[in-house]
Structure 1
Amino acid sequence: MQDADEMGMAGVRVELWRKGKQLASTMSDSLGFYSFDSRSTPGGLSPKTSYEIRIAYIQERHKKLSLSAADPAVDPAINNDGVDRQEYAVILFTTEALGISSNSLDFGFKCVERPQVKATLACTGTNAADAMVKVTLKGVKANERFDLTLTKEYSGTTEYVLAHPIPPSGSIFTKPLLDWESDNLTARVINATGCFQDVYVSLLQSKECIRLFSEQSNTASERLQISPNPTPDKVVVHYRGMTTGPVVIQVLNGSGKVLHQESLSGPSDALYRTTLDLSRYQSGLYIISLQQGSTVLSRKIIRR
Structure 2
Amino acid sequence: MNATKKRKPVSPKKRVVCFNILEDRCIWMKAGVINYRICDNAFDCNACAFNKAIRQAMKIDPMVDSQTVAPTWVAHLVERYDGANRPCRHALTGRIAAPKTCPYNYECYHCAFDQMLDEVDLAADLGTPVCREVSGFKIADDYYYHMGHGWARFEHGGRVRIGLDDFAARVFGDLNSIDLPPLGAGVLQDRVGWTFGRADYRAAVLSPVSGTVLAVNHPAREHPQLVNEDPYGSGWLFIVEPELPKRNLKRLFFGKESVQWIDQESRKLLGLMGPSYESLAATGGTAVRDIFGNVDELEWDTLVTQFLHTQRNP
Taking structure 1 as the reference length, what is the TM-score of the superposition? 0.29
TM-score by length of 2: 0.29
Identify the structure with bigger relative contact order (alpha carbons < 8 Å, sequence gap 6+): 2
| Structure of greater Rg | 1
- Which structure: greater strand fraction? 1
Q: Which has the higher helix share?
A: 2
